[in-house]
């Protein structure tokens, strides 16, 4: 895989379960369950779906002590690290820490007085469990709202540093931080500013970004901008959609930026009157039928001879549309020709074959 396009900002490495975050570790992909936490079976099923889609870490909301008891059962059945999302009640944080949570998402300033905060910090420290500070433009402290008039990057950074200093004043530096806004410009400016002030890893997100289409566009612009500046150690694409979509979009983002790769990367032309087969229909079918593959394979699907040879020569598998038959490329070289009726099946067969070869190579290492 090509090298990353930029040098990442140096940050402290922490561990969320067995997943390293920061310190040059691979940028991890996160999502959050939207099931009722008390429904243990549904939540575990969704966590498994997210893991299959490529999530490295999953966050689970734990709003009550009953939810904490459910979380205990969920954690016992989860194969990947879980972050508990907790607000206001420090006792819930203490409980999930006992139950083996891999990271606690809190705002130290809203879980009670100094004594309560110290109890949570001590418990997390004793168990070597990191804390995630989560600052959001939609829930700024009242005094900061009054001071700044409206949410902006400086207000978010000031809020974040309040929480950071609570942890640092208690000699605790095992944390990561998110500083989110639904406004792209505010979010990007906030992350850039906070990245100059702390050495802990940053969790990136454009919060409440919207539907699958809108949220994908907003998140790609905002998170892509930060990642291209070398900022960010773990990401979540927040969508009003199936959480699996969040994971899929995050991976497409990382693949496009050549930061991480997973599964089949399809390079396809937008189609035009020169196309010698129905490119759009073909790509939609291929994307669906190849979605289960985890190995990194590049597939070029080009409808004509204008750009087809060039794209196919740098792909594992490629097709250049022609008449009456289409030219298949394997490992960058012309291989054989196929009829339109056989095209989709042939491409699926060749991509699957290369994926299996790569899988076997990894297993032998």
pLDDT digits 0-9 by tens, 3-44: 556 789 999 999 999 999 999 999 999 999 999 999 999 999
**Which pLDDT score, from 0 to 100, does residue 210 have?**
84
Rounded to 5 degrees, φ, ψ at 216 are: -65, -45
Interatomic CA distance for residues 140 and 117, integer angstroms: 19
- Residue scoring higher pLDDT (137 or 4): 137
Average pLDDT rounded to a whole number, residues 131-149 = 89
For residues 69-76, give the mean pLDDT: 97
Fold of domain 14-256: TIM Barrel (3.20.20)
pLDDT digits (tens, 9 = 90+) for 156-189: 999 999 999 999 999 999 999 999 999 999 999 9
CATH 3.30.413.10 in the chain is located at 264-364
The predicted structure's pLDDT at residue 318 = 96
Mean pLDDT of 193-201: 97
Per-residue pLDDT reduced to its tens digit, 255-271: 999 899 888 999 999 98
**Which pLDDT value is given to residue 1?**
42
**What pairing do the DSSP bridges indicate for beta strands 57-61 and 82-85?**
parallel
The confidence score (pLDDT) of residue 7 equals 84
- Cβ atoms of 152 and 159 closer than 8 Å: no
Peptide bond into 324 cis (omega under 30): yes
Euclidean distance between CA atoms 31 and 164, whole angstroms: 23
> What are the two backbone dihedrals, phi and then psi, of residue 220, each rounded to the nearest 5 degrees?
-65, -40
The model's pLDDT over 220-259, given as tens digits with 9 standing for 90+, comes to 999 999 999 999 999 999 999 999 999 999 999 999 998 9
**Quick one: which of 126, 122, 134 has its CA closest to 176?**
134
Give CATH 3.20.20.20 domain extents, the chain. 14-256
Over the Cα atoms of the chain, what is R_g? 23
| CA-based max dimension of the chain | 77
- Report the chain's mean pLDDT, rounded to a whole number: 93
Looking at CATH, the fold of the domain delimited by 264-364 is given as Sulfite Reductase Hemoprotein; domain 1 (3.30.413)
């Amino acid at each position: 895989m090509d090298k990353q396009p930029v040098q990442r900002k140096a940050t402290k490495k922490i561990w969320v379960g067995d997943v390293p975050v920061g310190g040059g570790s691979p940028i991890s992909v996160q999502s959050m369950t939207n099931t009722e936490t008390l429904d243990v079976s549904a939540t575990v099923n969704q966590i498994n779906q997210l893991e299959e889609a490529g999530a490295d870490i999953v966050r689970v909301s734990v709003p009550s002590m009953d939810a904490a008891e459910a979380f205990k059962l969920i954690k016992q059945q989860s194969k990947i690290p879980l972050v508990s999302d907790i607000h206001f009640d420090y006792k819930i944080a203490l409980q999930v820490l006992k139950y083996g949570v891999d990271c606690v998402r809190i705002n130290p300033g809203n879980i009670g007085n100094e004594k309560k905060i110290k109890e949570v910090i001590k418990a997390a420290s004793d168990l070597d469990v990191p804390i995630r500070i989560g600052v959001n433009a939609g829930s700024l402290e009242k005094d900061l709202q009054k001071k700044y008039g409206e949410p902006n990057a400086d207000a978010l950074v000031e809020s974040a540093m309040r929480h950071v200093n609570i942890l640092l004043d208690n000699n605790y530096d095992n944390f990561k931080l998110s500083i989110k806004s639904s406004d792209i410009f505010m979010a990007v400016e906030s992350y850039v500013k906070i990245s100059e002030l702390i050495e802990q890893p940053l969790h990136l997100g454009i919060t409440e970004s919207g539907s699958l289409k809108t949220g994908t566009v907003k998140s790609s612009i905002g998170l892509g901008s930060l990642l291209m500046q070398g900022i960010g150690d773990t990401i979540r694409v927040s969508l009003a959609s199936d959480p699996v979509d969040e994971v899929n979009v995050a991976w497409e983002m990382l693949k496009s930026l050549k930061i991480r790769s997973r599964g089949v990367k399809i390079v396809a032309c937008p189609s035009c009157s020169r196309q010698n087969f129905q490119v759009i229909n073909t790509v939609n079918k291929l994307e669906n039928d190849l979605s289960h593959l985890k190995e990194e394979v590049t597939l070029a699907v080009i409808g004509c001879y204008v750009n087809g040879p060039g794209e196919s020569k740098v792909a594992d598998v490629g097709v250049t549309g022609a008449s009456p038959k289409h030219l298949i490329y394997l490992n960058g070289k012309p291989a054989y020709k196929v009829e339109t009726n056989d095209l989709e099946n042939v491409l699926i067969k060749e991509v699957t074959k290369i994926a299996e070869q790569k899988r076997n190579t990894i297993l032998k290492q």
